[in-house]
Amino acid sequence: MSSALRITEIFHSLQGESNTVGCPTVFIRLTGCPLRCQYCDTAYAFTGGVIYDLDQVLKEVESYSASYVTVTGGEPLAQKACLPLLSTLCDMGYIVSLETSGAIDVEAVDSRVIKVMDLKTPGSGELNKNLESNIEHLSLQDQVKFIICDRNDYEWSKAKVEEHVLHEKVADVLFSPSNEQMSAKDLAEWILADRLKVRFQIQLHKYLWGNKPGF
């Protein structure tokens, strides 16, 4: 298997989402994605990028002296070389997470990797891309994320949590308001009113630096 990776950016920032929010993290953003979610904030990663070999990636990651590494996209699993990258990062002792759309099979992902997997809501425009069989491959270290655009998305997400008993299968179920589409306050109040066993989250990095690459 080739170790060549097409990468949009490698950068050091604070984790803006998931249950390690606020932790200094190195992000490796792979280029390319088969989805076109209407709220996507990383469309600049759909094309372009620079070819790195695995050693180049590891050298740059090491330069930041961080404990956490997140491999993201685009959709990182669209590149076959993502799998050996994830395993090698784990071998080096990093706490590794993978941000994935849930549209590509995650079964082959190294079991040491923390999977942060989306279930696409109706408002995403990509509902039919959900590969719900992926839920079978999640463990108690993993997380499932719902990006919620409106009340319909919220009700759909709530039903999926119940259908799959997600709060018993993964470490955290993440409900996130779609930026500039869904009121964060409204979503928080719905969660409280329904006594949901989920983690509400907002995108910390956007509050600090806005919506721009490299943060």
Annotated binding site for S-adenosyl-L-methionine: 39-41, 74
Measured distance CA(141)–CA(114) in Å, rounded:
6
Q: Which residues are annotated as a binding site for [4Fe-4S] cluster?
A: 33, 37, 40
Structure tokens at 192: 């409280």
Q: Which residues are annotated as a binding site for substrate?
A: 14-16, 29, 72
- Picking from 131, 78, 70, 130, the residue whose alpha carbon sits closest to that of residue 95 is 70
Q: Which residues are annotated as a binding site for Mg(2+)?
A: 42
Count other C-beta atoms under 10 Å from residue 84's C-beta: 15
Residue 127 φ then ψ, to 5°: -55, -40
Structure tokens at 109: 């992902």
Q: How many alpha carbons lie under 13 Å from residue 42 in its C-beta half-sphere?
A: 26
Asked whether the beta carbons of 97 and 65 are under 8 A apart, the reply is no
Asked whether the beta carbons of 134 and 117 are under 8 A apart, the reply is yes
Q: Which residues are annotated as a binding site?
A: 14-16, 29, 33, 37, 39-42, 72, 74
C-alpha Rg value of the chain to the nearest Å: 16
